[in-house]
Chain A
Amino acid sequence: MKYTQLVISDPSQLIFGNTPYPVKTRRGLDIGGGQVYSELNFTLPVMSINDQTLPQVYDHYRQITEGALERALHLNSKGVILEFETLLEMTKTPAIGVEIVKIMNDICENYYQKHGLASEIRLTPNDLREFERPALQRTSRLLEPMFQLFEEGMLAGGDLLSIESTGGKEVSDEALMMCDIKAVLFSLAVLGVRDMQFLWKKIVALAGQHGKIAAGDSACGFANTAMVLAGKKYIPKVFAAMVRVISVVRSIVAMEQGAVGPDKDCAYEGPFLKAITGIPISMEGKTAACAHLSPVGNISSACTDLWSNESVQNIKLLSGMAPTAYMEQLEYDVRLMNTAIKKGTTHSHILQQLFVESDVYTDPQALVLDPANVIRISSALIRGDSYVANARNGALEFIEILEETLATGQMTLPEMESSYIPMLREELQGIPDSESDFIEMMLPQIDSSKFILSEYGL
């Protein structure tokens, strides 16, 4: 357990554009050093990826990058991150992913040399291991193309390394649907943590070898799945908010292994990571509605250092191609935040207050992102001696905050939601501090055919 005290313990210091440990990039971006930058993410329109369509695939990425950077240039952007999140075929055959990084990087370099527009590529290979069930987290042959893409992709110009790793997802999917908080905690604080330790040790070493930036890992397949399920009214929002809190103990392992940020855009656990470790983060909210809906459109920007759209298909809109349009939306959002930063802390805090107050009492998932609550929960998340205890403590702190808020009348929840609170508290209180005791408790309760303990070092 690397972190035992908060790097940012004063909520007023947890603010957009500034963090104690900014990250400087090759072309001069200073992420978290007094400015918010856009982070644009994009994907292909509906199409297959095969030998015949590869030229079109490459053309799409060329067109997206040129369109986005041209628009950023026109809007006097101070810098841009382009996230290249690979699709299955691009990781299985790393040469495809590497070629796309090259195409994008050539364009980035051209805009930098000709116009002084600094941009960097975040390279995010997809986690192939989930294609095997039960997953071979440590011995899978699929690790080879993933790491080949990491290495060759970073050499081709992918400077920031990220992944949405899936260790523990074998247990999490069913646990989410059953609202089984103990199984969620097992998937994230035991399996997820152990897989992150394995994976990020390698990623950090590789980045260090080539002078690149080990950025961060999102619990997207866990906590964002919960958020989307809650949005569809499949599971309670109270439960989804709690999953978010628990996901922190899993995602922070990247930093414990040496990742320095900026953390991944879809990791809404980012504010907690920023408070605990001081790294810069990327977040997404209202401008990510092109990819998924969320209840945290404004509040998610309260303390971000990069502002993202999550993902948009390269399709034609009335104004132009969708990634170009989203580049513009992101740039206007960050321009507003940067104007506030320039005018001083009073203005930054007023803008942050508006971001926070416009969302905070509308949903428990927004409530946890209030900077004051982030600090309270983060303190609980580092109080214990194990990841299991930390996850449990953080979740119980969230319940305290939720009940205090409900008592003030500022937030109301239907009985269908609030009836889960006592049940969740009781479940959490039954979780022991020690990881081994918890594993012993859980193994008879979960379907052990779904995962292989030895693949998690157990």
Chain B
Amino acid sequence: MFSADSTPIRSIIMTTHNPKPGESINGGEALVRALELEGVDVVFGLPGGATLPIYDPILESTMRHILVRHEQGAGHMAQGYAHATGRPGVALVTSGPGATNIVTPLCDAQIDSIPMVCITGQVPYAAIGTDAFQECDTTGITMAATKHNFLVSEAADIPRIVHEAFHIATTGRPGPVLIDVPKDIVDANNPRSAMQWYQAGDADMELPGYHPAGAGDREAIMAAAELIRQAERPVLYVGGGILKARAAESLLELAELTGIPVVTTLMARGAFPDSHELCLGMPGMHGNYTAVTAMQQADLLISLGARFDDRVTGRLDGFAPDAKVVHVDIDEAEIGKVRAVDVGVRGDCKLVIDALIECLAELGGPDAQADRSAWRSKVSGWQEKYPLFYEQSRPGDLLKPQYVVEQLCDLNPADTIVASGVGQHQMYASNFWKFDHPYTWINSGGLGTMGFSIPAAIGAKVGMPDRRVWAIDGDGCFQMTAQELVTASVEQIPIKVALLNNGYLGMVRQWQDLFYEKRFSGVELGPDVPNYVKWAEAMGCVGIRVDSPEEVAPAIAKANEIDDRPVVVEFRTDPEENVFPMVPSGHTNSDVVVHPAQRGE
């Protein structure tokens, strides 16, 4: 029998990392080993009382642990890692405040379908419900913020639950899964942690209610193909699901086969090359005129892994009034949730697109497609008349943020990964950066989490160390999560941050400017405090300040030369600049407002 003060249960894992089936091992070691067996190479975390027993075996693990400065950072890093690599990101935080601090990233990952596994410490099982120190109801709090969560009650369940968690996080519609681990079952000093090791496989999973979608119904796909064949004004409406399904190549084939123009939503930027003649760019509230209007006037929307978000549709009763809808989604609950469909296909986007291509071939291939030449010329007419536009700054004026983004794009390789925060800078980045590769754009689309970019960029760089990673951030966002640049410095993760400092919470300011008679309330941050260059330097980064257009390119070049530490380039930008086009809230997309200089022609 064990007692609480008996010799710690230590096993051979401490030296070999490879326990044999049936070998005595403790739950903490089992957790670490189970993570390794899921292919986890990096864990973003911050320890605490409840996770001490998990952090001990981590010292012997092959996994890299990255010590964050705030648990929110751990969550967004795991998201950035997952966005960039397609592999689930892993975060490890303690009970109570550790868990509550990571709720925002979980919510973010849930709404943007990011695969991640979050492990939270919990007070000992017997103490749950007693309001113990650093206790909170983590599974209760995160129920609506995760795809699924587990509270582990026995050490012996750990390998199975870890395998189930990764399975759920990465299959079907991906999402965050949380495993809440009471301290006693991982504590080498506690008899409740004793277990016999086993490697959990698919056969061990106990998930009788989980059946992720597969290939999609062939009859429905054929019906979709027939609608596509006949459509004279179709648009491929492409969402983040294309990227989750690794379907960018299939999409390219479908678009070229049919000659149908493509819009890529905020979550799908890069899923279809911006340089392609069929690419119309981003639709929605701050989409470009052509993407918005093409959807609005379409006779068929082919929605692939998109969910008719309110930021895309504008006022729903006036959205794409003449369009029939084909909706392909891996999540059946999305089909018809917002907009009634003519054909719904529940399935993996890649498999469904490949089947669509086969069905279109059966229906006669490119020659059998409706004549779309009039549609294409209409679309290119809009592109010509209303391109993305901004006015260059006059000498002595503050920088235009769009110019900074264009310069960044021009002076970096095409496969550079861009991570953005939330606000005006996010819209400038998503519109004015030209994305020609999938998985190069990382942002918080659904939840709109300010402060996302720096930790997400760090996670992306950890996952893709050979790629250049730029965070494009605003000053409001920067102040929310900048402390993770300390993590980046110490861990030698050389990301680059383009800080567009306009001294305001710019997007809120824009709405007050346009819809609240310029009554600016609670939006002024001021450009000078904090001193961003000094702050960057204090965190171990290189800090550079840029005030004028001619300094922009040299500063970017200088930042690109530095590869041994993070760089923050502060660009002083014009607070008066607003994001256009814009569909005012409550209006239909037919009311899209272009840049003032493009109006009244």
A binds B: no
Q: Which residues of A contact B (CB under 8 A)?
A: none
